[in-house]
Amino acid sequence: MATLPQVPAPSSSPDPGARPPGPNGPDGPARARRGRRLAAMLAASAVLGGATGAAVVAAIDSPSDSLRSATTVVEPGGSAGGTTAAAALDARTLYRAAAAGVVDLSVKTTSTSSGGTGPFGQPPSSQSTATGTGFVADAKGRIITAAHVVADAQSITVRFQDGTTRRAKLLGKDDATDVAVVQVDPTGLTLHPLKLGSSAALQVGDALAIIGDPFQFDRSISTGIVSGLDRTISAPNGFTVAHAIQTDAALNPGNSGGPVLAADGSVVGVVDQIATSGSAEQSSGVGFAVPIDLVSHELGSLAAGRTVSHPYLGISTGDASGTTTGALIGSVVSGGPAARAGVKAGDIVTAIGTTRVTGSSDLVGALAGHVPGDKVQLTLRRGGETLHVTVTLGTQPVSTGTTSG
């Protein structure tokens, strides 16, 4: 069974930064992070704080028009749009229509041990296999999954509903949003692409369904509702993902990378993480998915093997306490975009442009709509003074351990 690597859960306390999910699969150790820390350096996202002894978030694995319009997609009958109760979702009909578009991923990775040497003096290495889920995006054999499912992959094998297996190649992945695109040779295959919907219209209470491989029970379905919107979750590169969807549908090891389906059968998210108590790595009723609108925005680039860039301020933040609401700046990266604009540790961001900021999550969401090179105005509280500074956004580093140039 796949092991869920652990990263911090949301908190109003500052946190220095969530680590990326660790190795997946039966040999991958869970890496829990506990205690109070400062928020990780903001890219297009704030950081998940670590409440002392509180829940942690665990990765779960054991608009590109070219992908949206390249082929006819399968969807069940019924009206489109959100629903207001889980009962409005016809799970049987949806499963019959969508299950064939869901695939199982088996990923082989090789790790090198730091201790000892092999028979010819080389460091000893071991191979492990992780499992996850994905779904067919088009007739060209392109498949969407989570980036942490295919991290460090030496080989990727895709198994379809009829039992057919194909080797896949990684076209591209983005560790800042935890999204990846792999491709199989479609020759001789009858593919069942799923329709990419929109997450913009989702409302709390809308019905959702998840199809995936929890604990390697392939193509299992679970149902639930949208429990929350605009959450921030940890990304594999140590930054965070904005606008995540929270659901109470059962998510377990092996579900990562699978589709989150609306009642009309369209994909509205990609399964990513669950909150746990820090010990039990299984469904807690608090799961998270990357919104499909964020995924769709970069699919064209990922499918073409291009690097996706994200905006970067070069600060760490937490939620301000006391009478002033906003994003409290814990630290500022020397030489980074915010530092060059005169932003200081201890400042409180209360607005970005005309968008009010009441905490780190608001800052994350506001930045997610920008690109590197954009000029943004930050409204700051410094002591009893209100300041307005203009920051030219940089490009997010590869990881939180990389300083900006």
The residues annotated as belonging to the active site are 148, 178, 256
Neighbours of 195 (CB within 10 A): 22
Please calculate the CA angle 81-82-86 and round it to the nearest 5 degrees. 135
Tally Cβ neighbours within 10 Å of residue 69.
11
